[in-house]
Amino acid sequence: MEIKKYLISFFAILFLLSVTVIAQEEMTTDEWEAEMTRLKDKKESLTKEISVLQNEVNNLKATKLQSYEDCVNELYAMVGGTKADVDNYRKAVTELDGKIRRKEGPKVDRQKDLDALKMNKISALPEFFDKVHNQMQRSLDSWVEEVKETMYTVVRGDHLWGIARKSEHYGNGFAWPMIYKANRDKIKNPDLIYPKQVFSIPKLTEEEKAKYDKIRKNYKPAPVQ
């Protein structure tokens, strides 16, 4: 009611000021009466608007609103979960996101973990949807997993030195013992390998790479007689 009284008083003052200004402009009787009618209509229109607004305010005050906690619980129920379920899901998302960022492989297992999170209806909640269905998948897609080993099929004329020396392997023949050690179950004598044997070519660590590079640099072939 105080809002209504305030607005009516304001418009009344505005009306009196308008009348004063109009009077100072030497209006004719017809102009005066027309202006008075316009202002009266304006006042009635604004009074009706005030009444409508007041009714809306009263209706809002009379409306019983749910608490924030009730609203949240109702939202969780829509995806078949409880607050505890959502808390556990949030923890699982955080843990998997960390593993993906740190590239804790194998990558195929992380994809399975993410697919499981996507299948959970809780992923539809605004808090999780974009992260689980878009952001984390993009991180996985951009993850280039290093190959720990490759496979090589022996052909006629091959020897361990030559295989190790291939650019697609080590580019260094002195690293041949790595192939020998990785395939001891297939190689009885490192000087004797056979066509169609399939060898595992393990990836060198930085330390192993430096070791065999040093051996190659320090190697001095025997003088030719």
- Say yes or no to pLDDT of 64 above 60: yes
Q: What is the DSSP code string of 171-204?
A: S-GGGHHHHHHHTTTT-SBTTB--TT-EEEEEPP
Q: Which long-range contacts (CB under 8 A, 24 or more apart) does 19-24 make?
A: none
Distance CA 202, CA 179 (A): 7
Q: Which of 22-26, 80-84, 87-91, 146-150 has the lowest mean pLDDT?
A: 22-26
Residue range 149-218, CATH number: 3.10.350.10
pLDDT of residue 221: 79
pLDDT in tens, 163-216: 999 999 999 999 999 999 999 999 999 999 999 999 999 988 889 999 999 999
Q: How far apart are CA 99 and CA 7, in angstroms?
A: 62
DSSP assignments along 93-150, one per residue = HHHHHHHHHHT-S-HHHHHHHHHHHHHSGGGGSTTTHHIIIIIHHHHHHT--PPPSEE
Q: What pLDDT score does 79 carry?
A: 93
**What pLDDT sits at residue 91?**
97
Give the whole-number percent of the chain exceeding pLDDT 70: 87
pLDDT digits (tens, 9 = 90+) for 163-174: 999 999 999 999
What residues have CB less than 8 Å from 108, skipping those under 6 apart?
Answer: none
Q: What is the tens place of the pLDDT at every residue in 147-165?
A: 677 899 999 999 999 999 9
**Rounded-to-integer distance, Cα 214 and Cα 138, Å:** 40
Domain ranges of the chain: 2-62, 69-141, 149-218
| Coil, helix or strand at residue 1 | coil
Cα 205 to Cα 115: distance, rounded to the nearest angstrom: 32
Hey, what are 74's tokens? 């109702």
Q: Is residue 17 very low, low, confident or very high in pLDDT (cuts 50, 70, 90)?
A: low
pLDDT tier, 22 (very low <50, low <70, confident <90, very high otherwise): very low
Whole-number pLDDT of residue 101: 94
Tokens 């619980």 map to which residue? 73
The mean pLDDT value for 120-135 works out to 96
How far apart (Å, rounded) are the C-alpha atoms in residues 165 and 182? 16
pLDDT for residue 8: 60
Inform me whether the pLDDT recorded for 70 exceeds 60. yes
Q: Tell me what pLDDT residue 117 has.
A: 97
Predicted local distance difference test score (pLDDT) of residue 105:
80
How sure is the predictor about 35, in pLDDT bands with cuts at 50, 70 and 90? confident
